[in-house]
Amino acid sequence: MDLPRPEPFHPLRLARSPHLQTLLGNLSRGTGPDLPWTPALLDLEDGDVLALRLLEGDSGRVGVLFHGLGGTAGSAYMRRAAATLARRRHAVVAVHHRGVGEGRGLAIRPYHSGSTADMAAALALVRKRFPGSHLTAVGFSISANILLLLLGRDRDRHQPDAAIAVNPPGDLDASSLRLQRGWNRIYDLRFVRLLRREAASRRVTLPPTPSLRDFDEVYTARAAGFTDRADYYSRCSCGAHLSAIRVPTVILATEDDPLAPASDLGPVSEAVHLHVERRGGHMGFVGTRAGSCRLHHWLDTALDHYHRCLEPGGGGTGACSTIGSG
């Protein structure tokens, strides 16, 4: 699928490195209104519960947002994405994965890179809550991987009408190995710190200085029903399933992503528009606009653009305009 590209990304002159982009993208919150969310709960088949946030709209479209590892529905990039969609008068649903954010204490099992059943259940609920609306799912990082697995591997489960996947880790084993090298250890330590509380609550014994690979071996893989880390990574990497996707999908990736570079992605189907930026890091994309010194979160602009392109009749017809964002 060939779609018009959004406005060019111009990284900050003094923040062109992938690490600075990644850190700025996660530390800089940008601006946006506090939205009038309505809380909701979703009962899963195994007895666990997901917490969601709902926002009404009247455009006939709904965006469903899924956060990355260690994040919540209230993470900065989720808040900015929700505000961008709300400005278009779209309905918005922001989903907490199992046991995090407003869903802490409501789940026994952990979420993981292959949690397609949870995502499909959330999409089914949204479809029921907003009947007749065009549903676009947006996944960030680990949720981008889950979304692409749902679209390519698990097509028998509930599907969205369109999808946007941001910086998906196409090869989980390769990504986990990168986390152990050089400056990437900063991200590894952050992920483990965020996950330690969950492991402690379940009385899981970790090594004194664990890596995410250690965490996945002794906890995530086994708690999620996989034989071991290798089995988990092999079965839940999205890269090998992209050629089977039939739902109109945009994948937004970067060459310099320190965790999940675009080179880890496999061949894509004709239903996929693959947008690869040279720079931007992992969910960074912090730059400026031409003629302005103001900090600009280009990812918000790109999401707005592609959400417009993916609306019924929008692809390649000039409908892909954008709303300015901070």
For the chain, which domains are there?
18-171+237-309 (3.40.50.1820)
pLDDT grade for 199, boundaries at 50, 70 and 90 = low
Report pLDDT digits (tens) over 141-194: 999 999 999 999 999 999 999 999 999 999 999 999 999 888 888 888 888 777
CA gap 129, 164 in Å, rounded: 21
From residue 136, alpha-carbon distances to 24, 142, 213, 252 in Å are 27, 17, 32, 15
* pTM of the predicted structure, to 2 decimals: 0.92
Residue 316: predicted pLDDT:
42
pLDDT at 319 over 60: no
Report pLDDT digits (tens) over 39-97: 999 999 999 999 999 999 999 999 999 999 988 999 999 999 999 999 999 999 999 99
Q: Encode 60-81: b = buried (16+ Cβ within 10 Å), e = exposed.
A: ebbbbbbbbbbbbbebbbbbbb
- How many Cβ atoms from other residues are within 10 Å of residue 312's Cβ? 11
pLDDT at 326 over 60: no
- Please list the residues that pair with 52 across neighbouring strands: 40, 95
